[in-house]
Each structure stands twice: as C-alpha cells, then as structure tokens.
Amino acid sequence: MDIPVFILAGLLVHCVFLVSIFDIYFSSPLVHGMTPQQTPLPPPAKRLVLFVADGLRADSLYELDSNGTARAPYLRSILENNGSWGISHTRVPTESRPGHVALIAGFYEDVSAVAKGWKENPVEFDSVFNESKYTWSWGSPDILPMFAKGATGDHVYTFCYAAESEDFGAEDAAKLDMWVFDHVKSFFKSSRSNQTLFSALNEEKVVLFLHLLGIDTNGHAHRPNSREYQENIKQVDEGVKEIASLIDNFYGNDGKTAFILTSDHGMTDWGSHGAGHPSETLTPLIVWGAGVNYPQKVTTQFFEDNFLEEWKLENLKRLDVNQADIAPLMASLIGVPFPLNSVGTLPLEYLNTSALFKTESMFTNAVQILEQFKVKMSQKKETTLSILFTPFKPLSASEQINYLKKIRLYIEQQKYDEAISLCKTLINLALEGLSYYHTYDRLFLGLSIAVSFVGWTTYVILVIIKAHTNLTKTVPANKKKSTVLFYGFASAGMIITFFLLIQTCPWTYYIYCLLPVPVWYAVVKEIPVIQDLATNVLSLHLGQSAGFLLVCILGIEILVFSFFYRSALTVGLLVFAGWPVITQLWIQAKTKALIWTLLCVLLAIFPLMPVVGREPNIPLVTAAGLLTILISLFLLTSLCKSENKYRDNEDLKVYFYQMFSVALSTYVVGSTHNSLKIKQGLPVMNQIISWMTLVFSPVLLLLSPTFLFERLFSILLSLMSTYLLLSTGYEALFPLALFGLMFVWINMEQEALQHYGLSLKPKLAVFNFTCTMDITQFRQLHLDDVRRSFFFVFFIVTAFFGTGNIASINSFDPASVYCFLTVFSPFMMGGLLLLKVAIPFVLVSCAFEAVQVTTQLSSKSLFLIVLVISDIMALHFFFLVKDYGSWLDIGTSISHYVLVMSLTIFMMVMNGLAQLLTTRRLELPRRNKHHSM
C-alpha cells in the first residue's frame, strides 16, 4: 500500500473508531410522537417562579457563617417556617446547559448535545416553558434562547443582558443578578400601564424564570470560599426576598404562586465544574408557596453525608431529589402537561395537596414515561427482523394493560398508597425498558468495532514486519488464491449489506459492520508473511521472546494505568532513570547518563503535584520565565563561542527577539493577574500583547536556522512565550523540564545506536533538518526501536497528564486564559486551553522527529510502531468503557477512550507539524555581505 493511501486509510479507520463511541454509548435518548399527559384535576398554583442560582453549591447556601448566622437569612427562614427543602443531585457533565435541560425539560442530555453548543438545540425537546401558557425569563444569553427556540408558538419571552457582561475580570459579577432583579421589578411596574401584558400575567399556567449567573461568575473568578462568592449569595437572598414580596403584592396575596429556588450545578473549591465531585453534583432545592408542604419536624433522619449536623438542620426533614424530578414537580404545581421527554419522578413529599391529586399526578407521570417506552419499542421493532427481535419482557403489551388497570382500580377504591406504589414500579420498569431499547444494538456494534480494531492492529504489525525488518522474505503472489479471497470477502460484504438493508438500519451501522471486511481482507492477503514470520519466531530463543513480550505488556499496562493514576507516570520515569545503567550505556557516556537520570527524576515530580489550576501561583510563572531567559543566555553564549561555519550571525537576532517575547510574556502574566486582583479588569495593552505573541511566535520560530539544536532551542523559546501566558502556577516549569529531557534523549539515542553497533555517531552540532537523507541510508528496524517508540508514547502521555488529568473537565481553569480574554466565551476559551495542552505535545513530537532523522530511520517505520502501541491502548479503553456505576466513572471511561483515539489521530497531525516546524524556514531579504572564504 502506498504511503499516502496508508495514511488516509489509517485516518479514516481511526475516525470511525472515534465516532463509533458516540453512536454506541452517546446517541440521543429522545423519541418523538408521544401524546402529552396532564393531571385531570385543578392545580394548586396559577403561576410558578423559578430562581436558578447558577453555580450555587448546596453547602454554600445551607451552612452557617463562622458567627452562627445564616448566609441567606430569607431563604433560611423559608425552609424553617414556610416550605420544603432538600438537595438536588445533578449528573455529569455538571455544566450549565445540561443542568438547565434537566431542570426544565426533565431529561439528561447526552454528551454529544453538549459538544454541539450552549445555545443551539441539536435535538428539539419539550419543556415546562413550552407547555406553559406564558413564560417570561430574564438572565444569560447563553441559557435563555435555547428554551425559547425549542418552544412552539410565541409564548416564551426572553430578556438577556449583553454577552460581554459575563466578564470574569469584572469588578463585581453580582451586577448580573442585580440586572435581573431590576428588570423584573420594572417589568411588573410597566405591566400596570400595559393592559395586554397585565391580562397575560393574570392568566393561569404562567412561569417566571430568573437565571442568576453572578454566583457562577464570581466562583470562577474568585473561588467559592471567597468573600465575593459569599457576598453574592447574600445579594441573591435579598433579591429573592424583594421579588417574592413584589409578586405576592402584585397578585393581592392570592396564595396561588409557587416558588422554587435551585441551581444547575455546584463548583469545586478551585472554581471549576463539569465532573462528578460532590461539590459539583450537590445543589440546593427550596420550594415554597401554593401547593407546597410546610417544614416537617423530625427527630432522626439518616443520610450518608454528615451535612445535617454541620448545617444545623437535623430536625427539619430533608427531601432529596434527582435534578430531572424538578420538571414534573413544576408541571404538577401549575397543571401543565409533563414535558414529553421527561424521565423525572414526581417528588410527592414536596406537595401539600389532596391524596387524590397526588395519586392522579403520579399516574400521569407513569403514563407519560410509559408513552416514551412504547414509542422507543415500536421504533426498535420496525428496524429489527421479527425473528431476531427480543422484547423487554417485564413490560409486554399485556403487562402494560394489567398495570394501568390495577392502578385505575386502586384510585377508584381510594387505595391511594397502593396506587402510588404501583405507579413508582411502573415508572422504574418503563425507565429500564427505555434503557434496554436505547442500548439494544450496543453489543452487536461493539463487537464489530472490536473485530475491526484487532484486524487493523494486526495489519499494521504485518506492514512493519514486511517492509521494515529482515524477518520475512518476499513471496510471489498467487493470483488464483487472491481472486478467490477477493470474491469471498466481497460476498461477505454483500451479505452484511443485505442484512442491514432489510432492517432499515441507520447509515452509520453500514460503516461499523462493513469495516471489518476490507481490514481483514488486507490481513488474510498476507498469509505467506504470517507463515514465514511464525517459522522465524519459533527458531528464536523462547525465553528471550517471552521476556520481550512481557516487558511490552508491562509497559502498555503502565501507560493505561497512568490514565487513572498520574503517579504511574512517576514510576515509569523512575524506571527510565535507570535505563542507562540497565543497558550499560552509562559506561560510554557518563555525563549524559547522569543528566538523563537527574532530569527523569525531576520530571517524575510533576505527576505527584496537585492538578493545575487549584492554587494559582503567579511567582512560579515569573520564575519559569526568568529561568527560560537564563537558560537561553547560557545557550546563546555557547552558540557564539562555537565555531560553526554554517551559522550566520544575523540568526542571533531572531533568538534575541524570542527572548524579548518570553520576557514580555512573563511581565504580562504578573501584570494581568495583579490588575484582576484589584478588580480593574484585563488591561487592553496586555490583551493586545498576548494575542500578538500567540500569532507571531510561530513566525519567529520559522526564521531560525534549521540546524538540529538551534532549531529545537528556537521551538522551545517560541512555545514558552505562549505557554507562560496560559499558565497560572507550577505548570509553567513543566515544558522546561520536559524539553531538557528531550534534548538529552536525542543525545542518548546516538549513544544507544553506537552501543548496538547500528551506525556511526553523526555530529549532531552540524546536523541540519533540511538535508534530505538518502533513502539507501535508512536502516532496517532493530528490537531497540520498539523501545524508542515506547519512549515516545510514554513522553506523549506524560505531556498530557504531567500537570493534570485532562480527561477530567474540572482540571481546566478559566484563569489560564485571563491574559487573552475574561469575557465568557466557551469555544474561544476551550480552544486556548487545548492549545495549552498541545504545547508540551509539540515539544515531544519535534524531539521524536529529531530522533528519527538522527537514528537513520524512516519516519514511517517508527511511527507505525507508535500506532500499534496506541491502538492496543485504545482497544484496552474500548473494553473499559462503562454505562453503569457512578456518572463520574462513566464520563471518565468515555473520555479515556476518546482521548487515546484522538491521540492516535493527533499524532498523525503532530508528525506533519513537527516536520514543518523542524524543516521549514522563512527567508527574509537580507543585505548582501562579502565573506572571506
């Protein structure tokens, strides 16, 4: 197979592997075509006021201050005297969009929807707002439009402030909440002189939604334990009190208003959210007003956490709910149909209504979820052959009728408790059935992908052995056998296609099920190579082969383990430190071996450090900048002293510009964070310098000479100037330690080549990246090249996880991008954070490029070994993907697989980028100078 064709095939196969996980595990759970279900009794409330304090943690609201006073006095008095309270348990990812969808639409969005944007609706869904007669909402432009866009008709109205107001560097983010409260007040005031609006406000089934973003913004900017965050809670409490009083007065205290205060997600102590830490998943829920239970006094109640004693609320009944349960609660309070895709269970203990109303509401809830089950089942039945269809037995058609008849009979006999109990059983069964049909094809698709995976990895190993080793001899192709093979596999492909066609499967199923056919055809075609290889392997020393295999397996296991425990990288680096001793390389290069060992030990410290972003430490960033300049001065001095006839002194200017850029970045980081500390926002000049550094640092790099060490030194300076701007603590030192080790690695590989007698030691000082190597100089692969490739994969994983577990969303800290922007912009911030992650990656890739060219290996051969290692890891994670257990486990297992698959695709891209950064040079017009020869 030609190199371009092979690379294209590799990219396509890996893209299929990567995308498959979203089809298998993360397809949208939503179905359409259900009949709306509504409680057939008059509701207790005419209107509902929903306050969502974005980013408010349960403990931050409920706990008392150090002097024993309530942080939110009004809300504390409500839960003690007027309403019910509890904790709303959110799900991963704890982000604003999925949190609000769970609250208002009653279902948990799949990850693919979150990836498609905050404001857009990847799939249309029903919500309490859509079912209401009128909804008025005030707050963030990131949240409100998605509920208005999904609504039918023109009855959901939004009032948003400008997106620029969401500024993490602002003097006080509480002004966002003040904006909402002030606009609600003026809205009610204006309705007195607007008859149309006044009439609409006096209708039934009205919802008022106040989205309060100040607490979340203050939490990101100052952390949840800060004075700003806690002061914001007090201001929200005061605002809620004023709005509740205003609304009660407006409606003449008619007792027909229900109030709910909750949050979409919490926040970690270091000001991030997205993962499954209790501080992110536990949010407050306080409900009061029409149709809501008063506080219930209890003597004892048991919860696994010890919050009740801490919050001094052990004598008031705590009613915990899942976040999606709040949607049916709102629907039953104002008598609107339950949102069509809601999977929440109505929390009856919050209701202060008749037993009949509670039972009828619960029955409506059960029928509404059963409707989804029926649609899901009929959809699956239509796309599966009747002889292969396996129905969900606990809810067969007869069982459904049986349950509904029994519940209706209990209601008629006024056996409400029995009816409610049966409704809950029916809800649980319907949810189980929904999950059953949603994951119906999972095993079948998973096996197809696994078979393709094994086939592809086998094929790559065969390509390596055939093209880059002396283990096999060229066997002439047997045309007759090849034709039989081709028609055999083509027939298998046609049978699979026909089988999928008669089941009207989605087009993606064709890709997943047909992929193993060409992959395994390519493998089976190489049977002579496999036979030849088997003969050669059997002639080898058995103990040696087994030992080598064992070391390979152990190495890959350490890599897999490092995704779960960063400390595994420390263990690996300490083993690397002993590599020169184990292989006796230290005998011929004592100084290099000593520096290698010291740098391995130094780098091994980083994975033991806490995840980046938890504790900003700007002096360390400054120290990293100064250290870079010192190292640069030392290297420049030695460059000037060295008599390299190939170097032009004009090139030194480029290094001075780069050093100036590093110095400027160091100043900007300190200056920006000081300005934000005193609440003066992001200085415009600093912002301009940051963006200019980001744009021009790659240009300066391409102006530098292409001699090996000089170009690598230039790459470090260029990347450091940008990395410093994205750093908030000790991670600024990480690229320096990593680059030092990479620099020594290139030298150590030269010693290893000499040690094994594979080639003469080239002069690295005059080695030029642009000198194209003669193809006849490329050598065949040696067993030591497997070790070389493993080092690269290990360093890549270290570059990823050295300063934090990037598989966890809450490793990211918006403070990292404050030199570039402070106004909330999820995709811009995400892009800059990804750039930060990629910089150590680029350093390792460039070093690997240097290793490849200086060890006289074609980049393809080493890269293929890297591909095999990462694919074996990916297959590992494919089988570790979970759809059960805690949401943190599920989210982590998915992100690990996606990360390794992205790694493989990313390494292909990085290979090209490294070649560009090391070999390309921009030539500026220069004045002609006469040099004496």
Which tokens in the block code for residue 183? 């606009």
Report which DSSP code applies to 384.
Answer: S
Which tokens in the block code for residue 896? 């690990």
Q: Which residues contact 867 (CB under 8 A, 6 or more apart)?
A: 10, 460, 904, 907
Residue given tokens 């931050």 in the structure block: 60
Write the DSSP assignment of 712-759 as a string of letters. HHHHHHHHHHHHHHT--SGGGGHHHHHHHHHHHHHHHHHHHHHHTTSS
Position 838 scores a pLDDT of 85
Are the CB atoms for 803 and 610 separated by under 8 Å? no
Is residue 809 pLDDT above 50, yes or no? Answer: no
Position 785 scores a pLDDT of 80
Q: How confident is the model at residue 594 (pLDDT cuts 50, 70, 90)?
A: very high
The H or E element spanning position 209 is: strand 206-212
Q: How far is CA 632 from the centre of its chain?
A: 36
Write the DSSP assignment of 423-448 as a string of letters. HHHHHHHHHHHHHHHHTTTHHHHHHH
pLDDT tens track for 532-549: 777 777 776 677 677 778
What's the length of the chain? 933
Distance (Å) of CA 630 to CA 560, 606, 635, 663, 754:
37, 22, 9, 11, 33
pLDDT tens track for 12-23: 888 888 888 777
Position 403 scores a pLDDT of 96
Report which DSSP code applies to 779.
Answer: P
Q: Which residues contact 922 (CB under 8 A, 6 or more apart)?
A: 699, 702, 703
- CA 294 – CA 162 distance, rounded (Å): 39
Position 612 scores a pLDDT of 58
Are the CB atoms for 229 and 219 separated by under 8 Å? yes
Q: Which residues contact 55 (CB under 8 A, 6 or more apart)?
A: 213, 215, 216, 217, 219, 220, 263, 264, 265, 266, 267, 273
For residue 6, which amino acid is it? F
- CA 208 – CA 243 distance, rounded (Å): 11
Q: How confident is the model at residue 765 (pLDDT cuts 50, 70, 90)?
A: low
Average pLDDT over residues 824-843: 85
Residue given tokens 């190993």 in the structure block: 461
Position 754 scores a pLDDT of 77
Which tokens in the block code for residue 577? 């430190």
Q: How far is CA 651 from the centre of its chain?
A: 42
pLDDT tens track for 486-521: 899 999 999 999 988 888 888 888 999 999 999 999
Is residue 930 pLDDT above 50, yes or no? Answer: no
Nearest to 824 by CA among 232, 170, 147: 170
Listed in sequence order, the DSSP H helices in 502-614 are 507-514, 516-524, 527-539, 542-564, 567-577, 579-582, 590-605
Nearest to 47 by CA among 453, 393, 334, 370: 334
Average pLDDT over residues 365-390: 91
Q: What angle do CA 800, 803, 807 make, to 5 degrees?
A: 50
Q: How confident is the model at residue 810 (pLDDT cuts 50, 70, 90)?
A: very low
Is residue 465 pLDDT above 60, yes or no? Answer: yes
- CA 526 – CA 530 distance, rounded (Å): 6
Nearest to 132 by CA among 188, 208, 196: 208
Q: Give whichever of 142-151, 374-383, 793-802, 849-858 has the largest mean pLDDT.
A: 374-383
Dihedrals φ, ψ of 136, to 5°? -115, 135
- CA 390 – CA 406 distance, rounded (Å): 26
Position 869 scores a pLDDT of 86
Q: Is the pTM of this model over 0.95?
A: no
- CA 923 – CA 208 distance, rounded (Å): 64
Is residue 376 pLDDT above 90, yes or no? Answer: yes
Q: How confident is the model at residue 122 (pLDDT cuts 50, 70, 90)?
A: very low
- CA 342 – CA 104 distance, rounded (Å): 9
Write the DSSP assignment of 447-463 as a string of letters. HHHHHHHHHHHHHHHHH
Lowest mean per-residue pLDDT among 134-143, 175-184, 566-575, 758-767: 758-767
The H or E element spanning position 355 is: helix 355-382
Q: Which of the two residues, 430 and 446, has the higher pLDDT score? A: 430
Position 830 scores a pLDDT of 81
pLDDT tens track for 685-712: 999 999 999 999 988 888 888 788 888 8
Task: Supply the mean pLDDT for the chain.
Answer: 86
Q: How confident is the model at residue 117 (pLDDT cuts 50, 70, 90)?
A: very low
740-759: burial string, b at 16+ Cβ within 10 Å, e else: bbbbbbbbbbbbbbebeebe
Lowest mean per-residue pLDDT among 179-183, 261-265, 297-301, 461-465: 461-465
Is residue 646 pLDDT above 60, yes or no? Answer: no
Is residue 110 pLDDT above 70, yes or no? Answer: no
Q: At what angle do helices 708-725 and 734-755 cross, to 10 degrees?
A: 160
Q: Which residues contact 296 (CB under 8 A, 6 or more apart)?
A: 84, 316, 317
- CA 52 – CA 102 distance, rounded (Å): 12
Average pLDDT over residues 69-93: 93
Lowest mean per-residue pLDDT among 28-32, 182-186, 443-447, 603-607: 28-32
Position 517 scores a pLDDT of 95
The H or E element spanning position 289 is: strand 282-289
Q: How far is CA 678 from the centre of its chain?
A: 32
Nearest to 662 by CA among 631, 625, 634, 687: 625
Q: How confident is the model at residue 279 (pLDDT cuts 50, 70, 90)?
A: very high
Question: Cβ of 185: how many Cβ atoms within 10 Å?
Answer: 14
- CA 753 – CA 748 distance, rounded (Å): 9
Q: Which residues contact 707 (CB under 8 A, 6 or more apart)?
A: 644, 646, 647, 765, 766, 767, 768, 769
For residue 684, which amino acid is it? V
Q: What is the 3-state secondary structure (H, E, C) of 822-875?
A: CECCHHHHHHHHHHHHHHHHHHHHHHHHHHHHHCCCCHHHHHHHHHHHHHHHHH
Beta-carbon-side half-sphere exposure of residue 740 (alpha carbons within 13 Å): 20
- CA 232 – CA 244 distance, rounded (Å): 18
- CA 905 – CA 15 distance, rounded (Å): 8
Dihedrals φ, ψ of 875, to 5°? -65, -40
Q: Which residues contact 734 (CB under 8 A, 6 or more apart)?
A: 606, 802, 803, 840
